[in-house]
Amino acid sequence: MQSIKETVLNVAAAANSGMEKTKAIVQEQVDQMTGHNDTETGLATQRKEERILQADLDELEAIVHNAAARQAASEADGYSRPATGRTEHPAIAHQTSTGQPSEETVNPASGHQMSTVAAIGHPAGGQ
């Protein structure tokens, strides 16, 4: 659910960024048409480039914020996202005292034990 929310917020940030960029381009065109000399038209182009850069930075900041909010919500739910990209509930993940996964793992979907090989997508006992 948090992933969907993050995606929607990222799409909204991208749409907002695109709108700001469009407004900057239109404003530059208006400023160039009403400008009286090359200096004014050059300043209009510079302002447009600054507004576009700011829109990109705002979009990136929103994406980072949304990712952090999703991560915080995941941690609050008791789930962690290990480096493998799989979501594991802390009560399900089996580890040895060294922190390494044991040979037997519980499938979060079914609750059944399976071998480590099967946990990564290969059939148990198969090659």
Check whether residue 27 and residue 68 sit in a common domain: yes
In a domain, 83, yes or no: no
Query: What average pLDDT does the segment 73-92 reach?
Result: 59
In a domain, 82, yes or no: no
Q: Within 13 Å of residue 14, how many CA atoms lie on the same side as its CB?
A: 7
What digits encode the pLDDT tens for the residues 1-55? 778 999 999 999 999 999 999 999 999 999 999 988 999 999 999 999 999 999 9
In a domain, 68, yes or no: yes
The span from the CA of 67 to the CA of 23, in Å, is 27
Looking at the DSSP bridge assignments, the partners of residue 101 are 95
Looking at the DSSP bridge assignments, the partners of residue 119 are none
- Give Cβ neighbours of residue 23 (< 8 Å, ≥ 6 apart): 51
Check whether residue 42 and residue 70 sit in a common domain: yes
Between 64 and 74, residue with greater pLDDT: 64
What digits encode the pLDDT tens for the residues 45-72? 999 999 999 999 999 999 999 999 999 9
Between 54 and 106, residue with greater pLDDT: 54
Amino acid at 125: G
Check whether residue 66 and residue 7 sit in a common domain: yes
Domain of 109, in residue numbers = 89-127
CA-closest candidate to residue 84, choices 96, 101, 97, 71? 101
Model's pTM, two decimal places?
0.57
The number of domains in the chain is: 2
